[in-house]
Amino acid sequence: MKMAGKERESGRCGKVPCEGSFKPITGSGERGSAVEPPRRGTAGAAPEGRSRGNSLRAFGSLAGTWFSKRRVLPCLLPLILFFCWHLATFSGLAPEYLLPSPRTVWETVCAYMGAVSEGYADAYAGRFWGDLSASLGRVGSGYLLAVIPGVALGLASGRSPALASLLSPIINGVRAVPGISWLPLALLWLGIGFRATVFLIALAGFFPAYLNAAAGAASVPPVLTRAGRMLGFGRRAIFFRVVIPSAMPQVRTGLRVALGMSFSYLVLGELTGVPDGLGAMIMDARLAGRVDLLVSGIILIALVGWLCDVLLMRALSAVSVSLRRQ
């Protein structure tokens, strides 16, 4: 019995030290405390390392936010092109009569927009706003004449194989004809001026709007239309509440491409001798040998086209949000 009691006591306190079995440690190195004192120099190392790691992660997340939100990347390529342009003109690789310097072009743009002092002699000074309004009027008219029937027919063709088969030969045949081939016929039919330019713009913007809308409507999953019928939607409700929201990404792409084509054909139409417009200014600059004005017109058309694309994307985003809420 005494042996069993000793074994139970030893089993209770065998390998695991029992409470009160430790002796206090002394400075001579005897056993005592189970916790070693921290080594010198290691107490502040871990917090310092963690703070550095947190700083690096914060910097990386900040840089990723800038790049993910596309605030730096859109400006990168224009800055590189501007640097190469400045380097080519400053070093003399490109002579002034072929490629004017950025400073010369900037002064020409300021004069063309009217931001010059009194007494500045330039025949094109202050003409920008009148040319811009004329060009935007032609682009807006031709663009609307292109995208309204183009998107409507495209959506209808995407949902109707019979209509797509009917329109396919004409659409594919006419869109293969280069735009400049229509210019003599447009001048013969409509004369030089507003109507011929609007006709060319409408002809150029119709095909991308039609093709992308047709592809978007044809790619709507059938399960969505079946779900709409199960909810009691009629044909009209399915078209406006299922087909159009599903096809909206490709419709948006077609509208953006049509806008770019509209500006391209705007310059083509205004090169025929119209009295005002950004394309007319480029034609006048070519005839007068004003390379600085020619480059200025190209840059201004690019900026105006980019701004119109931004406004179009915001408008289409608002339309998409309203369609989802219905």
The string of pLDDT tens digits covering residues 207-227 is: 999 999 999 988 888 888 788
- Residue 47: pLDDT band (50, 70, 90) is low
Tens of pLDDT, residues 81-119: 889 988 988 888 888 888 888 898 998 888 888 766 554
Rounded to whole angstroms, the Cα distance separating 216 from 34 reads 73
Share of the chain above pLDDT 90, in %: 25
Q: For residue 121, what are its two tokens?
A: 């002699």
Q: Is the pLDDT of residue 228 over 80?
A: no
**68 or 201: which leads in pLDDT:** 201
**Quick check: 29 pLDDT over 70?**
no
Tell me the C-alpha distance between 250 and 218, whole Å: 11
Residue 322: pLDDT above 80? no
Domains of the chain and CATH, by start: 130-325 (1.10.3720.10)
- The full 3-state SS of 158-203, as one line of letters, equals HHCHHHHHHHHHHHHHHCCCCHHHHHHHHHHHHCCCHHHHHHHHHH
What pLDDT, on the 0 to 100 scale, is given for residue 2?
44
CA distances (Å), origin 285, targets 34, 111, 293: 91, 14, 6
What local confidence, expressed as pLDDT, does residue 298 receive? 92
DSSP string, 259-302: HHHHHHHHHHHHTTT-SSSHHHHHHHHHHHT-HHHHHHHHHHHH
Gyration radius from the chain CA atoms: 36
Q: What is the pTM of this model?
A: 0.72
pLDDT of 25 over the 50 cut: no
- The mean predicted confidence, pLDDT, of the chain is 78
Per mean pLDDT, which of 6-15, 135-144, 233-242, 314-323 is the most reliable?
135-144
Angle between helices 102-113 and 291-325 (to 10 degrees): 70
Nearest to 101 by CA among 115, 116, 91: 91
